[in-house]
C-alpha cells in the first residue's frame, strides 16, 4: 500500500547520510522531497503543508543541531510526525457498562462493510466476547445472504428477520436486534447498514434513523483505502450527515498509494481504529499508528509479527523443536515441515518478510516470491519414508530419484531441500546453544555458549608419541615399565612424599557418620 511513499522517503534519507551537520539548504531540500513524496501518495494538500512545516520547524531546532547524527535525528522527527498524523495512540473500542455494546458500521457501497462486519465479529469473538451480526442492509441484492454466509464462516450468529433485496424496514430490524441480543445474552451487536455508490440524502437519513433507534456506543466509518482523495470527501460528508467515532480502513493490501490513511485522521479529527489487509477473515486487527509509521519508513513491524505468531503457533510443538535443537533429541525433516506449516499460518511469506526491518530494499524479490514453494517442500518430505525423514544421511542416489518421482519434482530439487535443511539445522542449533550465526562468531548475550569459540585456544601441537608394540603381552610390559619410571604425582599440599586422604580424614576426629564421606 505505501510502497511508493516508502521508496521516496528512503531515497530522501540516503542523501543525508554521512553529513555531520545539516545546513538550511539540506533541511529545505529534505522537506521538499518529503512534500513531493506525500503528494504522490495522494495525501491531502492541507495535511502535507502541516506535516512538512512541523518537520522543518523541528529540524531547525536544538534537537538536530546538537545531535551526534543529524540524519538519524531527521528520520526520528519524520517518524514522530507520521505517528501524530496517523492518530498518535491506538484507539480501542468503548464497551457499554450495562447491556450489549452496539457497534454501527457506515460507509459507501463497495467499501467492504459486510465482509468487515464478519471480520470484526471474529476479532471480538477471539477477545472473549459474544457478538451478534445484524443484517440492516436491505437494499443491495443478496447483502443479507452474504452476511449470513460470512457469519457461518466465522461461527457468529446473524439476526436477519427480513430477506432484503429492496424490501423490509432496516430501522425496525435494528431495534429488534437489541431486544434479541438482550434476550439471548449477546454482549456485542454489530449493525451492518446499507451503502450507496455515492453520498445522497436518502442514505444519510436512513443511517441517521438507525443511529437514533439503537443509540450505538461506536459508529465506525468504513472506507476503502484505495479510493484516494475521495475518501476524505466522503468522510467529511458522513461526519456532517451522520457522525462517526472512528475509521476502519479496508483493502490495505492493495497497490494504491495509501494517502487516505494519512489524510482522514488529520482532516476529520477521528482516529483510525481498525485495518483490514487481506481477503481472509483473520486479516483484521487494531490500527497502531506507531507500527504503521514504522512500516512506511521501512523500520519493520516486529510487534505485529510477534502477536500474529503467538496466535497461530503451537507452543508445545515449538518448545519440543527448541529442545531438539538444543541437543535433547534430533531435529528431523518432520519437525522442519511442521515449522514451515506453522509459519504459513501467519499468511503469505512476502507479507511476513515485509514486516522485518530493512526489507524495503528487497521489495521486488518479495513481490516475485512464489508462495507455492512450501507446497513443493511438503510434497518432497511427504514422499520420504519415516526413516529417511529421521535421518536424511541415508538418502543415496536411488532413494532421491524415487522421492523426486513421488513428489513430481526433479532430483536437483530434492538435493537442494536436503542441503537447505542441513544448513538451517546447523544455524538454528548454533543459535539455540548460545552461539552466533555461522561465520560470524558467537552472539553477545545469547546464553551459556557465548564466547566458546572466541575463548577457545588452539591446542598445542602433539609430537610423535612413543611407539607401542602390537603384541599385547609386550605392550603390557612396556606400559608397566613406563609407569615405574614416571615421577611421583605432584603433591597439591606441598608436603614431602605421597598423601593419603583416608589417613588424613581419620585424624580429623569427625563426628559419627561423617567419615563415610571420604570412602
Q: Is 52 annotated as a binding residue?
A: no
Which pairing describes strands 284-286 and 272-276: parallel, antiparallel, or unpaired? antiparallel
Instruction: Report the distance separating Cα 318 and Cα 338, nearest Å.
Output: 9
Q: Is 393 annotated as a binding residue?
A: no
Q: Is 315 annotated as a binding residue?
A: no
Q: Is 110 annotated as a binding residue?
A: yes
Instruction: Report the distance separating Cα 6 and Cα 358, nearest Å.
Output: 11
Instruction: Report the distance separating Cα 481 and Cα 484, nearest Å.
Output: 5
Q: Is 252 annotated as a binding residue?
A: yes
Residue with cell 528487497: 362
Contact present, 125 and 91 (Cβ < 8 Å): no
Burial class (CB in 10 A: 0-12, 13-18, 19+), 175: middle
Q: Is 49 annotated as a binding residue?
A: no
Q: Is 269 annotated as a binding residue?
A: no
Contact partners, residue 61, CB within 8 Å, separation at least 6: none
Q: Is 250 annotated as a binding residue?
A: yes
Contact present, 337 and 377 (Cβ < 8 Å): yes
Instruction: Report the distance separating Cα 221 and Cα 287, nearest Å.
Output: 14
Q: Is 338 annotated as a binding residue?
A: no
- DSSP of 240-294: HHT--SEEEEE-TTSSS--HHHHHHHHHH-PPEEEEE-SSSTT-EEE--HHHHHH
Instruction: Report the distance separating Cα 517 and Cα 519, nearest Å.
Output: 6
Q: Is 185 annotated as a binding residue?
A: no
Q: Is 451 annotated as a binding residue?
A: no
Q: Is 192 annotated as a binding residue?
A: yes
Q: Is 196 annotated as a binding residue?
A: yes
Q: Can you say which residues are annotated as belonging to the binding site?
A: 107-114, 192-196, 250-253
Q: Can you say which residues are annotated as belonging to the binding site for GTP?
A: 107-114, 192-196, 250-253
Amino acid at each position: 500500500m505505501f510502497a511508493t511513499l516508502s521508496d521516496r522517503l528512503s531515497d530522501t534519507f540516503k542523501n543525508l547520510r554521512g553529513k555531520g551537520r545539516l545546513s538550511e539548504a539540506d533541511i529545505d531540500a529534505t522537506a521538499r522531497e518529503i512534500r513531493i513524496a506525500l503528494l504522490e501518495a495522494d495525501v491531502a494538500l492541507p495535511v502535507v503543508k502541516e506535516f512538512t512545516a512541523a518537520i522543518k520547524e523541528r529540524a531547525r531546532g536544538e534537537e538536530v543541531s546538537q545531535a551526534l547524527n543529524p540524519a538519524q535525528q531527521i528520520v526520528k522527527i519524520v517518524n514522530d510526525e507520521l505517528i501524530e498524523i496517523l492518530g498518535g495512540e491506538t484507539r480501542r473500542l468503548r464497551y457499554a457498562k450495562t447491556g450489549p455494546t452496539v457497534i454501527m458500521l457506515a460507509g459507501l457501497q463497495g467499501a467492504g462493510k459486510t465482509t468487515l462486519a464478519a471480520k470484526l465479529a471474529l476479532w471480538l469473538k477471539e477477545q472473549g466476547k459474544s457478538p451478534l451480526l445484524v443484517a440492516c442492509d436491505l437494499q443491495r441484492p443478496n447483502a443479507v445472504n452474504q452476511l449470513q454466509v460470512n457469519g457461518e464462516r466465522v461461527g457468529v450468529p446473524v439476526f436477519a428477520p427480513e430477506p432484503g433485496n429492496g424490501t423490509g424496514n432496516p430501522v425496525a430490524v435494528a431495534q429488534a436486534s437489541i431486544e434479541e441480543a438482550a434476550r439471548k445474552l449477546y454482549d456485542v451487536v454489530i449493525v451492518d447498514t446499507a451503502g450507496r455508490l455515492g453520498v445522497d440524502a436518502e442514505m444519510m437519513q436512513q443511517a441517521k434513523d438507525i443511529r437514533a433507534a439503537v443509540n450505538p456506543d461506536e459508529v465506525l466509518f468504513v472506507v476503502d483505502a484505495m479510493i484516494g482523495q475521495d475518501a476524505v470527501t466522503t468522510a467529511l460528508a458522513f461526519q456532517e450527515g451522520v457522525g462517526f467515532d472512528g475509521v476502519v480502513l479496508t483493502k490495505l493490501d492493495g497497490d494504491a498509494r495509501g494517502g487516505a490513511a494519512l489524510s482522514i485522521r488529520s482532516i476529520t479529527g477521528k482516529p483510525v481504529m481498525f485495518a483490514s489487509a487481506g481477503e481472509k477473515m483473520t486479516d483484521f486487527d487494531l490500527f497502531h499508528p506507531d507500527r504503521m509509521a514504522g512500516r512506511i519508513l521501512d523500520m519493520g513491524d516486529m510487534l505485529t509479527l510477534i502477536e500474529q505468531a503467538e496466535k497461530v503457533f503451537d507452543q508445545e510443538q515449538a518448545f519440543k523443536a527448541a529442545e531438539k535443537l538444543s541437543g535433547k533429541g534430533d531435529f528431523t525433516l518432520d519437525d522442519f515441515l511442521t515449522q514451515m506449516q506453522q509459519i504459513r499460518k501467519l499468511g503469505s511469506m512476502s507479507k511476513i518478510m515485509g514486516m522485518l526491518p530493512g526489507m524495503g530494499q528487497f521489495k521486488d524479490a518479495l513481490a516475485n516470491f512464489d508462495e507455492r514453494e512450501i507446497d513443493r517442500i511438503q510434497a518432497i518430505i511427504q514422499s520420504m519414508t519415516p526413516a529417511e525423514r529421521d535421518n536424511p544421511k541415508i538418502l543415496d542416489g536411488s532413494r532421491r530419484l524415487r522421492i523426486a518421482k513421488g513428489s513430481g519434482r526433479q532430483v536437483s530439487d530434492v538435493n537442494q531441500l536436503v542441503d537447505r535443511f542441513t544448513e538451517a539445522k546447523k544455524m538454528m542449533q548454533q543459535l539455540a546453544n548460545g552461539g552466533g550465526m555461522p561465520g560470524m562468531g558467537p552472539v553477545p548475550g545469547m546464553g551459556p555458549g557465548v564466547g566458546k569459540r572466541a575463548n577457545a585456544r588452539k591446542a598445542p601441537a602433539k609430537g610423535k608419541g612413543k611407539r607401542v608394540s602390537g603384541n599385547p603381552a609386550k605392550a603390557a610390559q612396556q606400559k608397566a615399565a613406563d609407569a615405574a619410571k614416571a615421577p611421583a604425582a605432584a603433591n597439591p599440599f606441598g608436603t614431602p612424599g605421597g598423601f593419603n586422604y583416608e589417613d588424613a580424614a581419620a585424624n580429623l576426629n569427625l563426628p559419627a557418620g561423617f567419615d563415610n564421606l571420604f570412602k
